[in-house]
Structure 1
Amino acid sequence: MSFITLFFFFTLCFILFFTITEQKFSEQYPATKAAALEKEKTTHLHFYFHDIVSGKHPSTVSVAGTKNAFGNVVIIDDPLTEGHEPKSKIVGRAQGSYAFSSEDKACLLMVMTFAFEEGKYNGSSVSVLGRNRFLENVREMPIVGGSGIFRFGRGYALAKTVRYNVKTGDAVVEYNMFVMHY
């Protein structure tokens, strides 16, 4: 090889080696705990969840099941309202599923996103994933995430059945959510 060819080759290698930046899979950003805590907020949400099983337009549909409750899986698109009455102002929708997850206890596995459609929360959501022992007076479930205003959301949801119709299966559940977010 000639000197010019070797010089060109090494120059090209040098340029490529020092100009290509290394791509990183992840990166951590330094932040003090005090700064993070100053920006964090807690929001209390209060609304009613209407699980409508009966009628011409149910908001709950069974997609898998057995003769007994254990193993039944339900998909939901339930309205969320300001008050407990069905005609109360709609503030969002609960979308997701729940499954009867215990052979010997009245227990549901809840996988839901509460998508809000009203006021400053319009377009934001809170996600819940957890166990719901629906015969208990008040149940607590974890909030595992959120979007929009509730990005990086975490906290807990308290659910309390206000009304349950044994004949139809329709239910109204009061929710109090405490969401920590930035």
Structure 2
Amino acid sequence: MALFSMTASIPRVLFLVSLALAMAAGPWPVAARGGRLIHLHFYMHDITGGPDQTAVQVVKGPGAVHPLMPGSHFGDTTVIDDALTEGPSAASRLIGRAQGTYMLASLKEPVLMVTMTVALTGGAYNGSTIAVVGRDDVSAGVRELSVIGGTGAFRRATGHVLWRTSRIESRDHMVLELDVYATVPGGSLAPPPRVDGMHQAA
């Protein structure tokens, strides 16, 4: 009787072990569930002074002056509400705002910790948002940040942002070029294939 009970429980034990291993391996890749890749390309205008200022320092770090960023201190924190445009010119069509903070997070390197929400206000994704966080090494030609979620068409999004300094308009105005690659699960809202320079990758 005991032998029969043990033998009968083997399939159940194997099932539980398989389930535990699957859970330990983490969630299935989004692509395996019919995920959709969306690629956005736009420009971000970070203006730290003047009448059109969009970035305001709210914390002055108490540390020593940064060796590679004169006038800056470890811990300096800036709040942003930067314009996002289709082209590099500030006069280009406005498609959203980048709202959040960046903090000088390295004692010796020119590295910022960025936390922001991309709020889209034009084009196919009007009303949707994308949550972006990551390490911005200002000295690098291309920086990679993470997409960690979103709302609307970007609900439960994952992915990355390639972030470049496009040009410096003035001492107070830096233009950044962003390529956002966001994968959303198949059940998320499906945007049209291409509108206003923003497109869904095949």
Give the alignment of 1:1-182 within 5 angstroms.
37=32, 39-66=34-61, 68=65, 69=72, 70-164=74-168, 168-182=171-185
Higher relative contact order (CA 8 A, sep 6+): 2
For 1:54, the aligned partner's letter is G
Query: What secondary structure sits across from 1:136 in the alignment?
Result: coil
| Aligned position for 2:10 | none
Counterparts of 1:115 and 1:102, CA distance in 2: 28
Pairwise CA RMSD: 2.0
Where in structure 2 are there 5+ consecutive unaligned residues? Answer: 1-27, 66-71, 186-202
Identity %: 37
Assess, with a 3 A threshold, how the Cα gap between structure 1 residues 86 and 35 changes in structure 2: closer, same or farther.
Answer: closer
Counterparts of 1:177 and 1:63, CA distance in 2: 28
| Aligned position for 1:20 | none
Deviation beyond 4 Å, 4+ runs, structure 1: 33-36
Where in structure 1 are there 5+ consecutive unaligned residues? Answer: 1-32
Which structure is larger by alpha-carbon Rg, 1 or 2? 1
Residue by residue, what CA displacement relative to the aligned partner does 1:38-72 show, whole Å, maximum 9, x if unpaired? 53100000000000112113000000114632211
TM-score (norm 1): 0.77
Query: Would you say the 8 A contact 2:98–2:116 is kept in 1?
Result: yes
Assess, with a 3 A threshold, how the Cα gap between structure 1 residues 36 and 83 changes in structure 2: closer, same or farther.
Answer: closer
Residue by residue, what CA displacement relative to the aligned partner does 1:15-58 show, whole Å, maximum 9, x if unpaired? xxxxxxxxxxxxxxxxxx69973531000000000001121130
Residue by residue, what CA displacement relative to the aligned partner does 1:103-127 show, whole Å, maximum 9, x if unpaired? 1000000000000011220110111
